[in-house]
Chains A and B, each alone.
Chain A
Amino acid sequence: MQNSAINVIFQENNIKRLFEGLFVTAEIAFISIIIGSILGILIGLSRTTKYRLVLFINRVYLEAFRIIPTLVWLFVFYFGVTTALNIDLSGEVVSIIVFSLWGAAEMGDIVRGALQSLPKHQIESGKALGLNYYQVYRYVLIPQAIRRMIPGTINLATRMIKTTSLVVLIGVIDVVKMGQQIIESSRFQFPTASFWIYGFIFFLYFIICYPLSRISKRLETKWSN
């Protein structure tokens, strides 16, 4: 009985549908990681200034995303912002907006940490060589900072991929939703479908995130000394 129930995954076009759902999840994660990284780099650079106001705004922005759960942000944008501005946004668009903003906040912190961890004499040596402000960043700070940023960035990417599982709660047809539909439609034929389908989705997330976290751990130990 249980041995045959695993067939629910491979029956008809179920596996194709699950991968379609996974593709939606991956698409949201991918676009958000790209937008978040670009915005995050700008935010991180802006956090190295001395202007108190800029620092304060950045701090509030980061803490807002750290304190309030991501699901609440999804709700705020999906229900709140759409009503307040009287516009219509699909679940996918809302997810991309929220994940990009969240990613940008966290990425900004990673960039700031990397830039500030560089010893001060690097900047001073650059200036002593006659490099201007832009050149110091371009040729001295950024190449070194990128190395320190990469493990953290990969970690953030895995966190974002994992968190995209929440989009099902604002009505996006992602891999979890596809799984639920398959369970519903095959409940009479395969009563134990939910065990296998959720197990399979669990496994899917694992095989995406595990290599990424291994790479980040390896780079971290490799580059830390």
Chain B
Amino acid sequence: MKVIKVINVMSIDWNFVVTNLPLYEKAAWLTLKLAFAGIILSLVIGILCSIVIYFKIKVLDVIVQAYIELSRNTPLLVQIFFLYFGLPKLGLKMSESVCAIIGLAFLGGSYMAEAFRSGVEAVSKAQIESGVSIGLSKSQLIRYVIIPQAFSVSMPSISANCIFLLKETSILGAISIMDLTNLTKDLIGMYYKTFESLALLVLIYLIMILPLSFMLSWLERKVRYAEFGN
């Protein structure tokens, strides 16, 4: 009995796959778009936060620290539910995609800030002092000494965070965004094509994330050529 069931599942309904592929394609683009916007925004937030922390700007650095702890120690799902269902009650209404992007940026910003911070901290004091002693101004110091070295140290965590954020988009279905997981759930519910829908879902995530991960490790080698030596 069980064996028959397994064989049934294994005989793939190609017709179903072909008809629904465009839907998956659409959902994949939506996922990529939201993730891209979220990543860009979180990079901006991360840079701003790490500047505030690095220069120890009064008041602001307490706020930034509080933000980082809040965002790192709570799950994205709860953050997004709060943004999407909680805030409208105070009169702040946002569309699903705006909520999704803000949620991703809220989460990603703190991760990016930590990545930049560790990079900036890794620049040795001797480097900065040498820069000062050959007469570089503060902006030159940042531009020619700190940023290139800090960036090469933080690049691995930045690329890990990009992949992390792309993966986190999978929960956006919870606020009725038609992303890949939400689409899959719908298709399973409508047609009972469990195997096909899930296989497509996994496959599309692989297609999205594998190239991204290769691309980022290539970029990492480029940025860190001083360490890799090519």
Interface residues of A (CB under 8 A from B): 2, 66-72, 75-76, 79-80, 83-86, 158, 162-166, 168-169, 176, 183, 191-199, 201-202, 205-206, 209-210, 213
Complex CA distance for A203 and B24, rounded to whole angstroms = 36
Q: A84-B6, A84-B195, A86-B2 are in contact. Are A71 and B74 (CB under 8 A)?
A: no
B73 and A209 contacting across the interface, CB-CB below 8 Å: yes
Q: How many residues of B contact A (CB 8 A)?
A: 43
Nearest A residue to B170 by beta-carbon distance? A69
Q: Which residues of A contact B86 (CB under 8 A)?
A: 194-199
B82 and A202 contacting across the interface, CB-CB below 8 Å: yes
A213 and B73 contacting across the interface, CB-CB below 8 Å: yes
Complex CA distance for A163 and B195, rounded to whole angstroms = 25
Complex CA distance for A210 and B6, rounded to whole angstroms = 45
Dominant SS among interface residues on chain B: helix
Q: Is B81 an interface residue, CB under 8 A from the partner?
A: yes
Interface positions, chain B 1-59, Cβ under 8 Å from A, are: 1-2, 5-6, 9
Complex CA distance for A195 and B89, rounded to whole angstroms = 6
Nearest B residue to A87 by beta-carbon distance? B2
B194 and A85 contacting across the interface, CB-CB below 8 Å: no
Q: Is B90 an interface residue, CB under 8 A from the partner?
A: yes
Q: Is B134 an interface residue, CB under 8 A from the partner?
A: no
B213 and A67 contacting across the interface, CB-CB below 8 Å: yes
Q: Which of A79, A195, A199 is within 8 Å of B194, CB to CB? A: A79
Task: List, sorted by A's number, 21 A–B pairs whose CB atoms are closer than 8 Å.
Answer: A66-B163, A67-B213, A68-B206, A72-B181, A75-B198, A75-B201, A80-B194, A84-B6, A85-B5, A168-B77, A169-B77, A176-B81, A192-B89, A193-B89, A198-B82, A199-B82, A201-B78, A202-B74, A202-B79, A205-B73, A205-B74
